[in-house]
Structure 1
Amino acid sequence: MTRSSLKDIKRTPAETERGDCSVILVGTWLALSMNATERYEGAWIHRCPDREDLISVVHARRADWILAGPELDDGDIQRLFSVAGAVRENVRLAILGHRRDWRRCDRWIRRGCRVYLDESVGPDRAVAAIRAAHTLGVNVMDRGFTEALRERATGPAPHLTRREREVLDLLRRGMRNREIAGALFVSENTVEYHMRHLLSKFSARNRLEVVERATALGLA
């Protein structure tokens, strides 16, 4: 990339003042125009046509997100995200994936991807998902992937007692046992008792798997 082009992509004052997300697209996205930069409500999307320029673009644009195109394989995404993370510590990952490729979606959500969308999604909807993940601190998946994961969840959804549902809801919010006990006005031993039941009912090895499997079954 030339010096003049680096000068051209510096983040503008208007962009900074609005507090918009800065999203760097690596790879292709047919729904997006061929413009180097596009402005949508709450975000700027910047193309990085040459992967060798990613460091410069991430730095110049003060990237908040890397958006990986559907043609990138897992190795490409991991390398690009690692490079971006070395420049911007808090950069987040969003991926455009092939329809119904629920295994890849599940794999990347487990690896820390925050937004996983069908490759046919339009820019406005994609930006809305990224903004939701950015401001609310949640993971966002397209409905098609969520439904596919739910369809392939093994066994029927377990029956949960009212208290188990309350514990699960607080667990989903990231609370620890002590915090859950305080919120429900019970002892930590009681919370641990319900936690053991949740682990058993979801055949989960840890708390994270409880939330993931409950989400896949539509219980969280």
Structure 2
Amino acid sequence: MMDEISVFLVDDHTLVRHGLRAFLDTQKDVTVIGEAENGKQAIDKLRALAASDKLPDVILMDLVMPELDGVGAITALRTMHPDLKIIALSSFSETERVHAALQAGATGYLLKSSDPAEIITAIRSAQRDQVHLDPAVAQVLARSMRTGHGATLSAREREVLTLVARGYSNQEIADALFISERTARTHVSHIISKLGLSSRIQAALWAIREGIATIA
């Protein structure tokens, strides 16, 4: 049986929230535990949930909202609760907007035009500590990157990087390659450093841009 995933929805459009809730309610492993119509309200409601030790596993966060936008809310929430999994949900795929959300601490980025299956995949990936980007967003970011000039990866590092691009956690990389989790973590760290990057997301995008991995 799959573990139940608790989800909190943040969007200033009531119809969007209701639509998301209606879809997620059809998923046996997902339960929507709350909603908010802007970033400020989300922070207040999540503070109350934290006091009862009932923080959600995953938050779907709209980026364009009144009072406090999504980037501001993500920044505040990740400062208060660093382990929160927050997926940015937006109608826009501009590089600057995506970078702002990821730098604020979003663990995924979806377009509101995404297929419902894409949304549930992103939620389940976030629950497993994996990054999920809308394919169109990933392509835009990959093309915009200018890093890793002249970097040469070993065969093992390329194997590891391919799995990172597929969203594997360090433990899943270890299991796939029959190495320890510590060794997998060291490989990932060395790859990020060698390429002159700062995160797993950037490493995954570099792999996509260089043709080492493809977007599923």
Interval of TM-score (by shorter of Structure 1 and Structure 2): 0.5 to 0.7
Distance 1:125 1:158, change over 3 A: same
> Aligned partners of 1:124, 1:94: CA distance in 2, in Å?
15
Amino acid at match of 2:96: R
Q: Which runs of 5 or more structure 1 residues have no equivalent in the other structure?
A: 1-16, 176-181, 184-190
Aligned to 1:178: none
Instruction: Say whether the 8 Å CA contact 2:10–2:35 is kept in structure 1.
Output: yes
Aligned to 1:49: 37
Aligned to 2:7: 23
In the superposition, the TM-score normalised over structure 1's length comes to: 0.59
Instruction: Say whether the 8 Å CA contact 2:85–2:106 is kept in structure 1.
Output: yes
1:65-106 deviations in Å (ceiling 9; x for gaps):
222113148x63354345545776632111012333233223
- Runs (4+) of structure 1 exceeding 6 A deviation are 155-159
> Aligned partners of 2:65, 2:91: CA distance in 1, in Å?
11
Asked if residue 134 in structure 1 is aligned to residue 127 in structure 2, the reply is: yes
Aligned to 1:94: 87
> Aligned partners of 1:146, 1:26: CA distance in 2, in Å?
23
In the superposition, the TM-score normalised over structure 2's length comes to: 0.60
Aligned to 1:188: none
Aligned to 2:142: 150
Which of 170, 186, 195 aligns to 2:160? It is 170
| Range with bigger deviation, 33-42 or 120-129 | 33-42
Q: How many residues in Structure 1 have an aligned counterpart in Structure 2?
A: 181
Report the aligned-residue RMSD: 4.3
Amino acid at match of 1:33: H
Q: Greater Rg, structure 1 or structure 2?
A: 1
1:29-79 deviations in Å (ceiling 9; x for gaps):
655536877524222233223643423356565311222113148x63354
Instruction: Say whether the 8 Å CA contact 2:142–2:206 is kept in structure 1.
Output: no
> Aligned partners of 1:119, 1:57: CA distance in 2, in Å?
26
